[in-house]
Amino acid sequence: MKRHMNVHSSKYKCTECGKCFSRNRELTVHRRIHFGEKPFEFTVCSKQFAQLGNLTVHSRIHTGDKLYNKLYKCPECDKAFTRSGYLTAHMTIHTGDKPYECSLCDKSFSHSSSLQLHRRRVHSNKRPYDCRYCGKMFKSSYELKRHVYIHIGAQPYSCRHCSDCFRRPVHLKAHLLKSHNEGTWFTCHICQKKFNWSGRLKDHLLRHHEAVKPYVCNECLNCFCTLAELKLHELKHSDFKQFCCGSCGKYFKYKHSVVSHFSKCSVKLGYVHIFARKD
């Protein structure tokens, strides 16, 4: 009987990270993590939350609820949590600890779920989601959804302070910081330069203060700060042409090359019809 219950306790599976849930409602709440959805907003400070419970906990900070004194509070910011485990996971934002390391590359993550999602997206060759506009294949429905915005011109993320809208949450976050001073800047401890996300600060430190270039090209021994730069450079040594013009069928090594070519090769149809090879 116990085995039968376990089978049905995980019948709702997240297509993004593979995590399973016993109820569809739990899956719906969980998927907000991947899509950045925060439907619950506290009217006093306009802060948004993915779950109603988090909104309730946050409201106690403003209302002076006595229960707030029993919560686990973050010493670095005003967040409070109902369980110590939640606080421990949250603290990695401030400490920068990333205990979950990928065995296939040099990346590490603060949460095990982030590591699982990384391995599925980066190290898996499966691309079951295809774009109906250009045929490009993606590893997750989230990546496909974000890509389709390019074709339809959608900008679903709007600023609550002005009329500006954005295609991606990270663009909205950068806008809030730069235009409305809302959010947290990541400041370089050496030169005090500010960045709107931690990845830019890390890249800045590598390039300007540490001069570390750990990624080496096997062909010419040139060194690079990031793996993405190395992969882009390696195309120079390869005859493989990934991108194809949907108008004339000509192939190119670089995406920017085919975009430039397409504008001269064919009349624009509202979106750039470019294919990436799957072989």
Domain boundaries, the chain: 2-95, 239-276
Dihedral angle over CA of 24, 27, 29, 30, nearest 10: 170
* pLDDT tens-place values along the chain, 279 residues long: 333 434 444 578 777 677 788 888 888 887 777 666 777 777 766 677 777 777 777 776 666 555 555 577 788 776 777 677 778 877 877 777 788 888 877 778 877 777 887 877 777 777 778 888 777 788 777 788 878 877 777 888 888 899 998 888 888 888 988 899 888 888 888 888 888 877 788 878 877 777 667 788 888 888 887 777 888 888 888 877 777 776 677 788 777 787 777 667 654 444 444 444 545
Residue 89: per-residue pLDDT: 79
Contact 98, 109 (CB under 8 A): yes
Residue 29: per-residue pLDDT: 80
Strand partners, 157: 166
Residues near 232 by beta carbon (within 8 Å), at least 6 away in sequence: none
- Phi-psi region at 96: left, alpha or beta (left = phi > 0; alpha = psi -120 to 50): left
**For residue 80, with 0-12 CB atoms within 10 Å meaning exposed, 13-18 middle and 19 or more buried, which class applies?**
buried
CA–CA separation, 76 and 88 (whole Å): 12
Homologous superfamily of the 2-95 domain (CATH): Classic Zinc Finger (3.30.160.60)
Residues near 258 by beta carbon (within 8 Å), at least 6 away in sequence: 243, 244, 245, 250, 252, 274
Which DSSP letter does residue 237 get? Answer: G
Question: Which helix H or strand E contains 43, and what residues bound it?
Answer: none
Residue 185: per-residue pLDDT: 84
For tokens 């040139």, name the residue.
222
Q: Compute the radius of gyration of the chain from its Cα atoms.
A: 23
Dihedral angle over CA of 111, 39, 48, 76, nearest 10: -20
Residue 247: per-residue pLDDT: 66
Residue 272: per-residue pLDDT: 44
Which pTM value belongs to this model? 0.41
CA–CA separation, 107 and 117 (whole Å): 12
Kind of pairing, strands 243-245 and 223-224? unpaired
